């Protein structure tokens, strides 16, 4: 059983995602085809605004954090390469709600 919004896997017997609170589907393929990414970015205020707008319109959504690891190499104690890891977030909605979510969250 899989969540059609976040694609998390659940044991048999579960009927609803504990995080997204939506009905589960039987296969990962079915779950993957049911949602689409609405937004990707690294600004917390923008993420909060989007999630608040979606919640206000009662549009189910899921957000995930992505860590972009940038390894720092040191030679004789001298750092070479990228400085630090960065974070991004993605907001996902059901494919059937994408246009409404895009308009309600005020996307261009």
* pTM beyond 0.85: no
Q: Which of 38-42, 77-81, 99-103 has the highest mean pLDDT?
A: 38-42
Structure-token pair, residue 8: 């998390």
pLDDT at 7 over 80: yes
Domains in the chain, CATH or no CATH each: 1-33 (no CATH), 35-104 (3.30.70.1370)
Give me the pLDDT at residue 37, please: 94
Give per-residue pLDDT as tens, 40-66.
999 999 999 999 999 999 999 999 999
Between 78 and 49, residue with greater pLDDT: 49
Distance CA 77, CA 81 (A): 13
Angle CA 33–39–60, to nearest 5: 60
Structure-token pair, residue 40: 């990707």
Q: Exposure pattern of 51-68 as b/e (b: 16+ CB <10 Å)?
A: bebbeeeebbbbbeeeee
């Amino acid at each position: 059983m899989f969540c059609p919004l976040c694609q998390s896997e659940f044991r048999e017997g579960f009927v609803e995602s504990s995080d997204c609170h939506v009905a589960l589907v039987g296969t990962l393929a079915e779950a993957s085809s049911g949602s689409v990414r609405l937004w990707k970015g690294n600004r917390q205020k923008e993420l909060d605004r989007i999630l608040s707008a979606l919640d206000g319109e009662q549009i189910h959504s899921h957000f995930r954090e992505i860590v972009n690891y940038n390894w720092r190499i040191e030679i004789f104690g001298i750092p070479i390469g990228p400085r630090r890891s960065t974070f991004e977030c993605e907001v996902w909605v059901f494919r059937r709600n994408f246009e409404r979510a895009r308009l309600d969250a005020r996307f261009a």
